[in-house]
Amino acid sequence: MRKLSGFLSFFFIILLVLPASKIAAQNIKISGTVISLTGGYPIRGVTVVVVGSARGTFTDSLGRYELVTPSISKTLRFTCIGYKTQEVDIAGRRVIDVALEEEAIEMQEVKVTALGIMRAERSTGYALQSVKGEDINRTSETSLLNALQGKVAGAIITSTSGAVGASSRIVLRGINSLNTDNQPLFVVDNVVLSNANFGNTTTEGVNRGSGVADINPNDIEDITVLKGPNAAALYGSRAANGVIIIKTKSADVDDHFGVSFNSTITMESPMRLPEFQNKYGQGSGGLFEFYDGMGNGINDNVDESWGPPLDIGLMIPQWNSPVAGGIRQPTPWISHPDNVKNFFETGMTFTNNVSVEGADESYAARFSYTNTEQKGMVPNTDQSKNNVMLNASISPYTYLTLNASLGYVNTHSDNLPAYGYDAQNVMQQFLWFGRQVDVADLRQYRFPDGSKRNWNYSYHNNPYFTLYENLNGLDRDRLFGQGSINLKFTDWLNLKVGAGIDYFKNYNNARSAFGDIDSPLGYYGESHLTFRELNTDFLLSFNRNLSSKLSLSFNLGGNLMRQYSQSLNSYATELSVEDVYTLENSRGPVVSINSLSRKQINSLFYNGQLVWKNALFFDFTGRNDWSSTLPLNNNTYFYPSFNLSAVLSDLFDFQSPTLNMVQVRAGWAQVGTDTDPYQLQPVYRFDQGWHESTKLPAIYIPNDLPNPNLKPQRTNSLEVGATLKLFMSRLGIDLTYYNQKTFDQIIRLPVSATTGYTSKIVNAGEIDNSGIELTLDGVPVRTRSGFEWSINLNFAWNKNEVKELAEGLKQYVLGGYWSLDVLAIPGQPVGTLYGYDFKRNENGKIIFYDGLPAQGEIHALGNYTPDWTGSIANSLRYKNLSLNFLIDARFGGEIYSMTSTWGRYAGVLKETLKGREGGIIGVGVMQNEAGEWVPNNVVVTAEEFNKAAYNNNIAYSSVFDASFVKLREISLGYTFNHIANNLIKEISIAVVGRNLALLYARVPHIDPETAFSNSNVQGLEFGQLPSPRSYGLSLNLKF
């Protein structure tokens, strides 16, 4: 902590002391308005700088700017993409208005590429896409990945739950690997950040988020997405699935302090709940009478709604009926249609951010603090987060620049909800429920004597008992940062040396109270995880003109990566004393599992670019990694890339007012991927308990047979594309085609039990991905009065195919649950949903026996991979008033819904009303006495019919089309400028909303955009908490 304290002091000295030396300088304030010469409308976002210095600012939505500069300054430069740069003499003036002339731009916008190397977008031979910080923060979404939904072509982002702090998953350009989660690498200010999961990754448990959730959206300046190996090759083996480069905010270059404050409040409610029936209550066979909830009444242990009809005047003894003379009295048997809806509370999120910054020609520093307090839709669930971010750079000499950044995050939760097939999952309980139960009456979950008060004592806890007594806590501290030294030897040669660290300690705890349905004598567990990654690197950069037409830039670098993680999980399966949640209170021996992992990668790399006439660009890269997780004879792997970009409109000089710029590009790249530590040799692990004879601790051999001959997994990628700018750059089109082959997959294959192992690790298999990505940016309307309508469209189509597995292997199981597995099968996309269908005859008709459908063959029922994704964003601006909205779509792919399976079996869903009175005749065929197929004519009860699929493990009945269209975001805002005698530069107020409407969906009852983990096992839903619909108010002040 002393080191951290010293580092913080260093930043505050920069913020407070250095500007003081500038106070004595004589400054003047210059202001003005920038408009279009031809259109006469104000231009927003024009860069205004003092020539010969680093002072600058930007115009606001009315084209206005304000700048403080020394009185000796002579010239202002005005630049904006799509307009000719103009320089204007100051000549003692305090007001300078400028009219800029439009021109066809040549895509000169500079982008951050791999390793922080800046490149003009026109010079890149691969696709990359950027998202501005203002677009990330427009609707005040606290999750960075959720805020990116619909804003990057080819990115599939899926949230795992509607709980506070739940993790999300992002995949770029399809599934490449069978043994990883296929998520990209995250880099924040040149620091590689772990995206580890902090909770369960199975079908049950508690979702405590993932590493990327620690990134504060309020601190983001912009994000660059490197989608494939062609763009990400320089980052090495961990970048095979792409890279998301995040640049945090730094100080605006100006000679004064700047202070900003942002406050947001949003409210959350379930976007979609199951459609329940409200005509029949708890019971079975139309009968119910409560005695003790454990089967001693009439079906009173049943957690289903096949009981008597509701709201017809029946009086029946129920769980909350009064008891007189030892006899439970009959009470009105009535429905509670909103019992589930009313259970969920209005979630609240409060976010407050303050930042302070200062800068001049030689230094820049920014400090930011953000506090986020969340109260979940699920009662008694919460999360609080504190983010601190510091950025500073100092240039004491023209040849020396020092840069540093430091981020600290503290995350705390007293309780997070469970999910999946888990007794602690309240949503699962509502799918096995009595529709007559008044949930509000369950809030008092204990009787005066302390005993449990519940509607069912056989299968479920009272949901409020679960949420107030069985708690799942979280505490996490994270520190990440970097420091670098930049030495400029000459105008064409410089050296950068730096180091970055990502460090966190994560503590989880879980407890169950006495009387819990699964742990009657209580439970307590703790989980400790410590992670540290240190990267040290250097980059030597050369950039020089070789002739008047030819130039060369070349970078040579190296990286040392050291990674360490340790976990300790301890738990007591039974407790001695009630309400004492410590490991010391364990009734029996405490179970402890300790795990330690170390990994290192040494790397050398180069990157070069030849430029001809600033119109033809040839890039070449190479990287060699030495990984500690691979055998010595295979631990080194080299992967190159080659990219070509040609601006045809410059090379052949055919620009026109209609066709302004044409760029084509092509590239090929290869990346390698290693594996986890300790896969090469047998690793013995300590087990629980002792050997009686030796009095030594037991050890065991893991299930995987190691492979000392492992090779790195490799991906070859081919990418071609084109970019067009038309109509004076009012329309931009970018089209990319890619083809990727990932081979030598590192996977686990089953082996005979006689080997002493259950699986072996081998190199086998190939997965291909090919696809098209299209982005379109346009400004259809721009008027003199200040009205502007801009539009952005993203479209992506991906074809994924498993080309081969290991010899003789017909399928590879990624995972699964209940009656369905998720497989990789040659000739099909990764993610085949594999389960039992109905039994059918030769004509495909369902076969019925005694009126009920039978289990048929097991085969592919669908695939979770969508056919295509798309989004359309609109921004309408009139002077200081703005309206933005985003529609997001995903078409194709299937999802298995356990909500439908459970809800139909239990008779709680709306579709189970069919046949309640007269029974059901299933549509299909049966055999007559002559063995001929005839239409089924056997009547069965609705209860028998709806339970058949569950009883026979027929997964097909709950597989649905996962397509959807959502109104993802909307914001309406107004900006006030120069208030209170310019004390306040700007006030922005906005009404914001997210996930406001599910405009189209084929799957009933649930949000199709859901999953229960971040692994490759997707396309499965198991009673997930509903996705939140949020709406709120945002306030921004700049001083």
Give the span between the Cα atoms of 297 and 309, in whole angstroms: 18
Summarize pLDDT for 1009-1023 with one digit per residue, the tens.
988 788 889 999 988
- β-partners of residue 306 are none
Give the span between the Cα atoms of 697 and 687, in whole angstroms: 7
Summarize pLDDT for 181-205 with one digit per residue, the tens.
899 999 999 999 998 887 654 445 7
DSSP-assigned states of every residue in 23-78: TTS-EEEEEEEEEETTT--B-TT-EEEETTSS-EEE--TTSEEEEEEETT--EEEE
Least Cα distance to 607 among 555, 666, 645, 553 occurs for 555
Give the span between the Cα atoms of 271 and 266, in whole angstroms: 14
pLDDT number for residue 111? 66
Least Cα distance to 435 among 303, 251, 623 occurs for 303
pLDDT number for residue 270? 96
Strand bridging mode 704-705 / 713-726: unpaired
Task: Pull the structure tokens for residue 856.
Answer: 């048929």
Q: How confident is the model at residue 964 (pLDDT cuts 50, 70, 90)?
A: very high
DSSP-assigned states of every residue in 138-194: TT--S-HHHHHTTSSTTEEEEE--SSTT--EEEEESS---SSS--PPEEEETTEEE-
Give the span between the Cα atoms of 521 and 877, in whole angstroms: 62
pLDDT number for residue 739? 97
pLDDT for residue 690 is more than 90: no
Q: Which of 244-253, 391-400, 788-797 has the highest mean pLDDT?
A: 788-797
Instruction: Render the burial of 241-262: b for 16+ CB within 10 Å, e for the rest.
Output: bbbbbbbbbbbbbbbeebebeb
Q: Count Cβ atoms below 10 Å from residue 934 Cβ, excluding itself.
A: 10
* All structural domains of the chain: 2-103 (2.60.40.1120), 133-271+346-899+962-1038 (2.40.170.20)
pLDDT number for residue 1034? 96
Least confident among 420-424, 484-488, 910-914: 420-424
pLDDT number for residue 101? 87
CA distances from 817 to 251, 947, 1022, 1034 (A): 51, 19, 9, 42
In this prediction the pTM is: 0.87
CA distances from 934 to 608, 853, 913, 927 (A): 74, 14, 27, 6
Summarize pLDDT for 518-541 with one digit per residue, the tens.
999 999 999 999 999 999 999 999
What is the rounded average pLDDT for all residues in the chain?
Answer: 89
Helices 898-905 & 942-951 angle (0-180, nearest 10): 140
pLDDT number for residue 199? 64
Q: Report CA torsion sign: 425, 428, 433, 436.
A: positive
Strand bridging mode 984-1001 / 1020-1021: unpaired
Q: How confident is the model at residue 704 (pLDDT cuts 50, 70, 90)?
A: confident
Summarize pLDDT for 794-849 with one digit per residue, the tens.
999 999 999 999 988 999 999 888 889 999 999 999 999 999 999 999 999 999 99
- The residues near 281 (Cβ < 8 Å, ≥ 6 apart) are 288, 305, 307, 308, 309, 310, 333, 335, 434, 435, 436
Mean pLDDT of 241-267: 86
Provide, rounded to the nearest whole percent, the portion of the chain with pLDDT above 70: 94
Least confident among 226-240, 343-357, 543-557: 226-240
- The residues near 752 (Cβ < 8 Å, ≥ 6 apart) are none
pLDDT for residue 682 is more than 60: yes
Q: How confident is the model at residue 60 (pLDDT cuts 50, 70, 90)?
A: confident
- β-partners of residue 719 are 667, 738
Q: Round the CA-based radius of gyration of the chain to a whole number and report it.
A: 32
pLDDT number for residue 937? 96
Give the span between the Cα atoms of 322 and 1013, in whole angstroms: 44
Contacts of residues 615-618 at CB distance under 8 Å and 24 or more positions apart, as own/partner, are 615/646, 615/647, 615/650, 615/651, 616/644, 616/645, 616/646, 616/647, 616/651, 617/122, 617/123, 617/124, 617/125, 617/644, 617/645, 617/646, 618/125, 618/642, 618/643, 618/644
pLDDT number for residue 26? 63
